[in-house]
């Protein structure tokens, strides 16, 4: 017989104090969560091309681990028809489909219990810099996910998004000043306050700060489009060798900081480079399919897309990575194959996701597999 | 590592053929499901008194087993604040809160796998006799529940509601002709067709037919307000000794049929009687709190309420039974105490649920505990 479990909002106690940590993405997953794209100011042509792309992504991940797709009441029946029967389709209201940013950041403790961080979400920068208003449904997603999984929920005392942080699962956090030290998120917190909160809520001990994200990233500069851990002590960095490209300086600055840093275990980091994709731009046809009701989301033809191969997801036994149909795709695939020799490398065409402003990592959220379960 | 599981809609194969059965309500539960009341034509005063009553019920059940409360997006935050933190609150659109009728009827197989029947639902009688239109969200509830639990879903080929059937878990189904043999549900099915479908989808072999439900039951005569199995071979029947009461004849007819019947194991049934509550009527004040927008739900002051002590729920280690604040409550409690000597008997004031047209059993749906899990 089970005891009643349910969500507990731990008032005062932090995940770290309660023995929780965020595992690395390469640790075993119980599954992966996504949300269904709908809003016609983010996704062109009534989100129909994006829905097809999200369905292909969900169905691809479902070959490796269970997938839960969160869908609004009105789109539920349509989503069910697009998705493999193995995908669990769950009704949930959202403001948009960036589950990396709005979903809970799942945690585990040493007993294998599941926890979840409920970050405060303000639409990537609130009324001044955010991408849309309202964002109340998005801010409730993490709590609803915790309840669905009966995970212990920890509401965090700071505004951030899951895409703004990466961890090595061994005490180290990777993030950017552009997002975390920004008055549009946490105007009253110092850098030290932010470090304390991140470590307390991710069960970590050390923060490595990069400066900016990749250029043209509408999130303000999420680390998950710039760099990620691929193993303890190893960081993969989106690299650019064209001095005329604004990412040239960004990638050099990031590499310098990474090489100067040590992780929580005291290790120097090895930096692996992966090229930025051949530059890509929004076409006239693509721009014309957007509802132009929101000035913050009104991309124009010719705008550069914030494409990056770093925006992949590690799942059980595979890496699901973006492909853009450009020559750099093969280079990226070769690098990922070398870095993940025990994983299948699945390159998935993802331009329709990119058009919305993110990519595979931005629209997914892994749930760790509890040890011993 | 888990394999991707998810919902499978078994086309063609029936639960019985696949090795599934509906367990008896007294078999171990993994938990219980409810839905949050909202519609102001069913529930007086904007459903606020009913919400308080549903919250008390959910919180009472949560002392014995996990509870999931399904809540619309707009009421989610309010429900969370009413409910014990142990109650899992899950967003789901419904047309009303009768989860016994709209929820999946959960099944298990011998390996401990979870299945679920997705009955066709038409609002208790369709456009001619049903209680409201539309009912599309209610008809989708069972599929969504199956997906949430990754249960194997079986869409049934007949229109019915969970409250129209009881089982002993050993091959016997108890139901009423008033609901199941009614052209407002399945005009093209014979009695034999209905028996076959019920047995196929509940994993049973034998149907015992009662005639009518209790008087004034707006469902058309659900068995779960009239009689239920309390053990293999033992049926509890709502009884009436007042010849002036229309239930006098109904209860005698039901007892005669039960005493003439045999169950799937060939046993004669023992019939236990439990008195109908002291007659109760809708007050002027109660009637005045209803939105009178729906002629089928427009109860009037003085209407008799379809109260019955049989409308209880068996949970792990307890029976949660309705109390009405009338003298018969003590008699009912004593009978339940005798029939369930190993269970706590929790008598819960439930007039606000009764005002909507049902009671504790009507608004709950148990989920069996898989054997060996």
pLDDT score at A192: 97
Q: By three-state DSSP, how is residue B313 classified?
A: strand
Q: Are B121 and B163 in contact (CB under 8 A)?
A: no
- When pLDDT is averaged across residues A278-293 and rounded to a whole number, the result is 94
Could you tell me how many residues make up chain A?
373
C-alpha angle with apex A178: A172 to A183, nearest 5 degrees? 110
To test the contact with chain A by mutation, choose from B1, B2, B3, B4 the residue with the greatest count of A C-beta atoms within 10 A, namely: B4
CA atoms within 13 A on the CB side of B94: 31
pLDDT score at B355: 97
Q: Is the pLDDT of residue A373 over 60?
A: no
Tokens of B18: 């696949």
pLDDT score at B10: 52
Options B32, B179, B228, B362, the catalytic residue: B362
Element (H, E) at B102: helix B99-102
Burial class of B300 by CB neighbour count within 10 A (0 to 12, 13 to 18, 19+): exposed
Largest CA distance in chain B: 65
Give the integer Cα–Cα distance in Å for A94 and A39.
10
Tokens of B312: 């209880």
- When pLDDT is averaged across residues A278-304 and rounded to a whole number, the result is 92
Say if strands B114-120 and B152-159 run parallel, antiparallel, or are unpaired. parallel
pLDDT category of residue A11 using cuts at 50, 70 and 90: low
pLDDT category of residue A95 using cuts at 50, 70 and 90: very high
Q: By three-state DSSP, how is residue B146 classified?
A: helix
With an 8 Å Cβ cutoff, the interface of chain A facing chain B consists of 1-2, 4-9, 28, 30-31, 62-67, 73, 76-77, 80, 84-93, 137, 140, 143-144, 147-148, 150, 316-317, 369
Give the integer Cα–Cα distance in Å for A143 and A141.
6
pLDDT score at A6: 42
The residue that leads in pLDDT, A9 or B59, is B59
pLDDT score at B373: 46
pLDDT score at A297: 83
Q: Are B43 and B37 in contact (CB under 8 A)?
A: yes
Element (H, E) at B323: strand B318-323
pLDDT score at B44: 96
Q: Which residues of A touch B86 (CB under 8 A)?
A: 4-6
Q: By three-state DSSP, how is residue A165 classified?
A: strand
pLDDT score at A233: 98
User: Nearest-CA residue of chain A relative to B317?
Assistant: A1
Q: Is the pLDDT of residue A1 over 70?
A: no
Burial letters B11-37, b for 16+ CB under 10 A, else e? eeebbbeeebbbbbbbebbbbbbbbbb
Q: Do the chains contact at A91 and B144, CB–CB below 8 Å?
A: yes
Any idea which of A155-164, A328-337, B286-295 has the lowest mean pLDDT? B286-295
Please report the domains of chain B, with CATH numbers, ordered by start residue. Answer: 20-368 (3.75.10.10)
Give the integer Cα–Cα distance in Å for A339 and A335.
6
Q: Over its length of 373 residues, how does chain B's per-residue pLDDT go in tens digits?
A: 333 334 445 557 999 999 999 999 999 999 999 999 999 999 999 999 999 999 999 999 999 999 999 999 999 999 999 999 999 999 999 999 999 999 999 999 999 999 999 999 999 999 999 999 999 999 999 999 999 999 999 999 999 999 999 999 999 999 999 999 999 999 999 999 999 999 999 999 999 999 999 999 999 999 999 999 999 999 999 999 999 999 999 999 999 999 999 999 999 999 999 999 999 999 999 999 999 988 888 789 999 999 999 999 999 999 999 999 999 999 999 999 999 999 999 999 999 999 999 999 999 999 999 865 4
Q: Is the pLDDT of residue A2 over 90?
A: no
With an 8 Å Cβ cutoff, the interface of chain B facing chain A consists of 1-2, 4-9, 28, 30-31, 62-67, 73, 76-77, 80, 84-93, 137, 140, 143-144, 147-148, 150, 316-317, 369
Closest CA to B360 of B370, B346, B350: B350
DSSP 8-state class, residue A151: P
On the question of a cis peptide bond just before residue A255, with omega within 30 degrees of 0, the verdict is no
**Predicted structure pTM score:** 0.91
Closest CA to A201 of A119, A321, A139: A119
User: Nearest-CA residue of chain B relative to A86?
Assistant: B6
A20 DSSP β-pair partners: A109
pLDDT score at A3: 35
Distance between B149 CA and the closest CA of chain A, angstroms: 9
Total Cβ atoms within 10 A of residue A28: 16
Closest CA to A43 of A97, A102, A83: A97
Q: Do the chains contact at B65 and A4, CB–CB below 8 Å?
A: yes
Q: By three-state DSSP, how is residue B319 classified?
A: strand
> Which residues does A124 contact at the CB level (< 8 Å), separation at least 6?
A101, A130, A131, A161, A218, A219, A220
Distance between A63 CA and the closest CA of chain B, angstroms: 7
Q: Which residues of A touch B317 (CB under 8 A)?
A: 1
pLDDT score at A9: 52
Is A362 tagged catalytic? yes
Q: Which residues of B touch A9 (CB under 8 A)?
A: 85
Q: Which residues of A touch B7 (CB under 8 A)?
A: 85, 88
């Amino acid at each position: 017989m089970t005891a009643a479990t349910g969500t507990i909002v731990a008032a005062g106690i932090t995940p770290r104090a309660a023995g929780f940590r965020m595992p690395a993405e390469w640790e075993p997953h119980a599954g992966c969560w996504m949300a269904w794209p709908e809003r016609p100011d983010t996704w062109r042509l009534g989100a129909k091309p994006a829905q097809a792309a999200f369905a292909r992504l969900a169905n691809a991940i479902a070959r490796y681990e269970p997938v839960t797709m969160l869908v609004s009441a009105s789109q539920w029946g349509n989503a069910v028809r697009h998705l493999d029967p193995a995908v669990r389709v769950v009704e949930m209201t959202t403001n948009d489909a960036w589950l990396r940013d709005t979903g809970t950041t799942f945690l585990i403790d040493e007993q294998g219990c599941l926890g979840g961080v409920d970050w405060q979400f303000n639409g990537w920068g609130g009324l001044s810099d955010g991408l849309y208003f309202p964002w109340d449904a998005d801010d409730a997603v993490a709590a609803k996910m915790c309840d669905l999984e009966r995970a212990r929920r920890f509401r965090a005392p700071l505004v951030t998004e899951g895409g703004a942080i990466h961890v090595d699962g061994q005490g180290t956090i990777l993030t950017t000043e552009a997002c975390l030290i920004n008055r549009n998120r946490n105007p009253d917190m110092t850098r030290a306050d932010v470090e304390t909160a991140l470590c307390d809520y991710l069960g970590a001990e050390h923060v490595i700060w990069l400066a900016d994200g990749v250029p043209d990233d509408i999130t303000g500069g999420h680390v998950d489009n710039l760099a990620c851990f691929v193993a303890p002590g190893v960081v993969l960095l989106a690299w650019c060798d064209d001095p005329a490209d604004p990412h040239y300086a960004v990638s050099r600055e990031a590499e310098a900081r990474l090489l100067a840093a040590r992780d929580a275990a005291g290790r120097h980091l090895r930096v692996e480079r992966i090229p930025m994709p051949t530059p890509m731009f929004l076409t006239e046809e693509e721009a014309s399919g957007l509802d132009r009701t929101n000035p913050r989301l009104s991309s124009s033809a010719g705008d550069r897309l914030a494409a990056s191969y770093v925006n992949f997801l590690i799942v059980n036994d595979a890496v699901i990575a973006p492909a853009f149909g450009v020559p750099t795709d093969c280079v990226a695939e070769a690098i990922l194959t070398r870095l993940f020799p025990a994983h299948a490398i699945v390159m998935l065409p993802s331009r329709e996701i990119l058009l919305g402003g993110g990519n595979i990592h931005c629209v997914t959220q892994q749930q760790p597999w509890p040890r011993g379960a």
